[in-house]
Structure 1
Amino acid sequence: MTTAFDLGLDGLRAADGTSTEVAEALHDEFELLVRHDIGTSRSYVLAFDSAATWGLPGAENLAAFDVVRHPEQQTFRLRRSYHAVMAFAQKWLIERGCPPEALRLDPFLPADESSYLLEERIYGSGDRYEIRSGFAMDGGDARAWTMVVDREAAELPVRLFVEDLERFDLSYTLREGAFPDEDTALEWCRLEPGPLPPAPEDREMAAERTRAALARSTASAALGTAPVSAVPASGVAAQSDRGRSL
């Protein structure tokens, strides 16, 4: 991870009003997290805005930039989007053409498979999630959350994605909670009375896995055989770990 931050705009002028506004808002407090260049004409940039710490409490501090340069016209087009949770900042860049593998934040990795699968779902969610608000706390072990409305949810449509960054372990966790409305979700954020309430579809999947495991156990008992997991390693083909990378 490097702190060098340069969008490569020298000698170019803004192609439109939005580009002018974004360029004028650039400052020295941006710290580069990831940059992916496609030749000299386009760059996808993810940066940490340390100046956000001194602004409104909880201000979103991850800035995603999409830079398009037209050297022949000596112009640039610049777009920016602020986020609290990393996966949503990455999603914004992915949807604009950045390869997902170019956005990995070495050496940080998801702490568990649940975090990995959840961020993968966010990357490919399209317009499923309508972002309503976000909050970021910086410090030793930082926490951030993004609140969305899940357009595909049959119940409890307000979803809260909570990210905990563990700097010492160089890892992070990402979890999803489900709520009936935004006020209830905000109340949880304020009080944190317990674990995030799971999404109904996650409860159904967990129940299905439990039923399947019970069915396998019952069938094994009826046949007088041990469950597959109890068979000595020499009796089954070895399987390699799936593994993953960001």
Structure 2
Amino acid sequence: MLSPTEPATNRKATPQVDFELDDLHADEERYLDFYREVGVHEDSLVPLAAHHDGPNSYYVLFDRSATWGHPGMAQVLAVHLQRDHEKQTFSFEQAPLPLPAMAQSWLILRGCPPDAIDLDHQLGPPPADDATRSLERRLAGDGEHYAMGYSYTSDDPEDMVIVVALRALDERAPSPFRVLVEEVDTETWTHTLREGGFDTVGEALQWCDDRLTGEAGPLPRVRAAATVSRSAGVAKVPVPHAPSRSR
């Protein structure tokens, strides 16, 4: 979900994120870690979704500052906070991820109720069709079958696109490598998400590179198997590095 160029006439007033850590002062080193990894960007973080459950808080955040970072950087940040008010301290995990649905999946795997972390689509382009909604539900609800190996986010107003390459954790899976493609239509201010299946990591990464240069053909269909889930997830397991790109 890319939102920096949304027309001002369509844009909801941007809410601010509040991590509610002001009364927790016991662990200075942890504060420094949190500041370096999350808090330094606090003024640029837009809460696309948040859920609070006692000492736990779960956030799907859009990082507006990522557009000025390394080309292709993921612009979504998942954050899980655990507070201990008795000891006046906290712990946290965070993960930059390319797609909001992948951030939802990451948080669900860490205890967030699946029905409690819905996205606020007034803060970015909503899904354009049922195919997009269905695939995003699969991504959010089943994050244990595929590992992310590569992603590239392009927020070029002429071609706003995110490509993600995934590898099956089950070696028996059909189409063991998947590519996810999110595209934003800046005229309708909606987005589509599609999935393709590949036999090798090289084919998957080559398709990603071709899409970013405008030379890709249609995504190959994912081969189905009754005994294997077709969903994709976010656990990070390396795959061979894709060709580097410049913005």
TM-score (norm 1): 0.72
Among 174, 178, 186, which residue is 1:159 paired with? 178
Q: 1:237 is matched with which residue?
A: none
Whether contact under 8 Å (2:60, 2:100) holds in the other structure is: no
Whether contact under 8 Å (2:26, 2:87) holds in the other structure is: no
The one-letter code matched in structure 2 to 1:58 is: G
Question: Which is further off, 54-63 or 182-191?
Answer: 182-191
For residues 188-241 of structure 1, the C-alpha deviation after alignment (integer angstroms, 9 at most, x for no partner) is 122232111111229xxxxxxxxxxxxxxxxxxxxxxxxxxxxxxxxxxxxxxx
Larger radius of gyration: 1
2:141 corresponds to 1:124:
yes
C-alpha separation between the residues in 1 aligned to 2:149 and 2:29? Answer: 26
Among 58, 77, 80, which residue is 2:72 paired with? 58
Task: Return the structure number with greater helix share.
Answer: 1
| Identity level (%) | 33
Shift of 1:111: 1.6
Q: 1:240 is matched with which residue?
A: none
Among 167, 170, 176, which residue is 1:149 paired with? 167
**Correspondence 1:52-201 to 2 at 5 A:** 52-101=66-115, 102-107=117-122, 108-140=125-157, 142-152=160-170, 154-192=173-211, 193-201=216-224
SS at match of 1:64: strand
Q: 1:21 to 1:14 in 2, by over 3 A?
A: farther
For residues 71-115 of structure 1, the C-alpha deviation after alignment (integer angstroms, 9 at most, x for no partner) is 111001111011012211111112222233332222343222211
Whether contact under 8 Å (2:48, 2:119) holds in the other structure is: no
| RMSD of equivalent CA atoms | 2.4
Shift of 1:180: 2.0
Structure 1 unaligned regions, length at least 5: 203-246
Q: 2:36 is matched with which residue?
A: 24
Shift of 1:14: 6.7
C-alpha separation between the residues in 1 aligned to 2:160 and 2:132? Answer: 16
Higher relative contact order structure (alpha carbons within 8 Å, sequence separation ≥ 6): 2
2:24 corresponds to 1:6:
no
Structure 2 unaligned regions, length at least 5: 1-11, 226-247
Q: 1:48 is matched with which residue?
A: 62
Whether contact under 8 Å (1:163, 1:173) holds in the other structure is: yes
SS at match of 2:18: coil
Shift of 1:5: 2.1
**Correspondence 1:212-227 to 2 at 5 A:** none
* Number of positions where the alignment pairs a residue of Structure 1 with one of Structure 2: 201
Shift of 1:56: 1.2
The one-letter code matched in structure 2 to 1:57 is: P
Q: 1:18 to 1:128 in 2, by over 3 A?
A: farther
Q: 1:238 is matched with which residue?
A: none
SS at match of 2:46: strand
C-alpha separation between the residues in 2 aligned to 1:177 and 1:19? Answer: 41
Whether contact under 8 Å (2:106, 2:143) holds in the other structure is: no
Whether contact under 8 Å (2:98, 2:152) holds in the other structure is: yes
Poorly superposed stretches of 4+, deviation over 6 Å: 16-19
Shift of 1:18: 6.7
C-alpha separation between the residues in 2 aligned to 1:14 and 1:178? Answer: 49
